Amino acid sequence: MNRLIGRVLVAVACVGLSAGSAQAQWNDPAVVEALKQIERDMGQAMVAVDLETLNRIFADDWTSIGASGTVVTKEKVLRDFTSGVDRLEAFELGPMDVQVKGNVAVVHGSVTEKRTRAGKDVGGEYVWMDLMEKRNGTWVVVRSAGAKVR
């Protein structure tokens, strides 16, 4: 399963980076920091169950391959946070790597979470990757993938 997730992460990164504009500047420090802030905001919004912020961060067509290998939609994530099925109590992000090309960016890193899902402890250490796209002047997460490492 971890090999499948790893292959998906690599494929998403390659597709995302090849989709950017050739004329755009790579890795503008201000853009890199803005994308890292979106990641921090996402975690804080999950802890606070701030659905308005999560709705703004995730594109309407967002999907993710979760740590269990299942495909998750934006609608399901928002519903699970609303109902309390998914509950992020605390998180600590590790270092993040950001690669930007035009209106497309890949952000990946690690996180340690205290989390429950359907009443079961699923906390631990994870690696993750988000594919972001600038749409109508705003960066949104369009695809995600993650895997539990401990």
Name the pTM for this structure.
Answer: 0.81
Name residue 32's amino acid.
Answer: V
Q: Which two tokens stand for residue 94?
A: 């590790």
What pLDDT was estimated at residue 12?
46
pLDDT band at 67 (very low <50, low <70, confident <90, very high): low
Name residue 95's amino acid.
Answer: P
Which three-class secondary structure state does DSSP give residue 123? Answer: coil
Say whether pLDDT at 72 is over 90: yes
Q: Which two tokens stand for residue 72?
A: 């998750």
For residues 110 and 126, the answer to whether their CB atoms sit within 8 Å is: yes
Say whether pLDDT at 1 is over 80: no
- Taking alpha carbons only, the member of 65, 132, 69, 84 closest to residue 104 is 132
